[in-house]
């Protein structure tokens, strides 16, 4: 294997004298506990923008400018969600390459 496993407990020992963030002493644990909420918020934002874009399409009454604006909202929502998903996959991939298990079980 070309990579080595990093034991972050040994590396970060003494970095945080006491756990002050809800019982988490490591930055990976803090980020790992926040990420599910970020993905939930991204999913809710996607749903809201899809609904708003769909309503704008239905109420555009054939106006090309309103139709184009609504289609832009829908496509931007989908592109934004795809970016969020690929960012997550990139973080997990880099974590696996470096041997960091902090992001392995985000969605328990």
pTM greater than 0.95 (yes/no): no
Q: In the chain, count of helices (H) and strands (E)? A: 3, 0
3-state SS of 46-95 is: HHHHHHHHHHHHHCCCCCHHHHHHHHHHHHHHHHHHHHHHHHHHHHHHHH
The residues of the chain scoring below 50 in pLDDT are: none
**Measured between alpha carbons, how far apart are the two ends of the chain, in Å?**
28
pLDDT in tens, 49-74: 999 999 999 998 889 999 999 999 99
User: Are the beta carbons of 12 and 29 closer than 8 angstroms?
Assistant: no
């Amino acid at each position: 294997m070309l990579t080595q496993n990093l034991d972050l407990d040994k590396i970060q020992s003494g970095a945080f004298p006491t756990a002050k963030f809800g019982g988490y002493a490591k930055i990976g644990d803090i980020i790992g506990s926040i990420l599910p909420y970020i993905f939930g918020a991204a999913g809710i934002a996607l749903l809201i923008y899809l609904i708003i874009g769909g309503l704008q399409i239905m109420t555009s009454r054939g106006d090309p400018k309103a139709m184009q604006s609504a289609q832009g909202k829908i496509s931007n929502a989908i592109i934004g969600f795809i970016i969020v998903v690929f960012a997550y996959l990139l973080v997990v991939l880099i974590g696996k390459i470096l041997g960091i298990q902090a992001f392995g079980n985000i969605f328990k």
